[in-house]
Amino acid sequence: MQDYFHIQMDKNDLKTISALGLAHMGDGVFELLVRSWLCVRGKATSGDLHRATVAHVAAPAQARQMERMLPLLTDEEAAIYRRGRNAHVHGVPKNATAGEYAKATGLECLFGALFLTGQTDRINELFSKTVEDPHAL
């Protein structure tokens, strides 16, 4: 049975997945991190929890978090981020600029790639260092 919580794809196999495919995976990973972070911080009240989650996973918030994360990336991680940032998306949500949406897609692509290659400790490190910053979110 495949363990879908602990995937260990080869980095070469990862290259067969499109940037938007990686971003699709990373979107779910990022949202799960945000939901966990909100619950751990005691923000788990019914109506506010959903609004807080949406506020943190929206493209403008992800773009700000990515800007804080950029100096922490390895060269390989930065290349994956750029792959996602430069992906050709078919539309930009009305609450975000094209630049914000591109950065958010890059963040999601990075988190998707890290998750699929089993680098969950690195995902947690990047997320924690940028979300726990006193100027974060």
pLDDT tens, position by position, 26-40: 999 999 999 999 888
Q: Which two tokens stand for residue 91?
A: 């539309």
Give the list of residues 6+ apart from residue 109 with CB closer than 8 angstroms, or none. 19, 20, 22, 23, 26, 80, 81, 83, 84, 85, 87
Report phi then psi at 135, rounded to 5. -95, 5
Annotated active-site residue 27? The verdict is: yes
Please identify which of the residues 27, 48, 75, 121 carries the catalytic annotation: 27
User: Helices marked H in 41-116 — which ranges?
Assistant: 46-57, 59-69, 75-85, 98-116
Every domain of the chain and the residues it spans: 18-131
Q: What does the pLDDT look like over 60-92, one tens digit per residue?
A: 999 999 999 999 999 999 999 999 999 988 777
**Whether the predicted pLDDT of 1 surpasses 90:** no
Question: Which among 15, 5, 33, 8 is positioned nearest to 109, based on CA atoms?
Answer: 15
Decide yes or no: CATH 3.40.640.10 for domain 18-131.
Answer: no
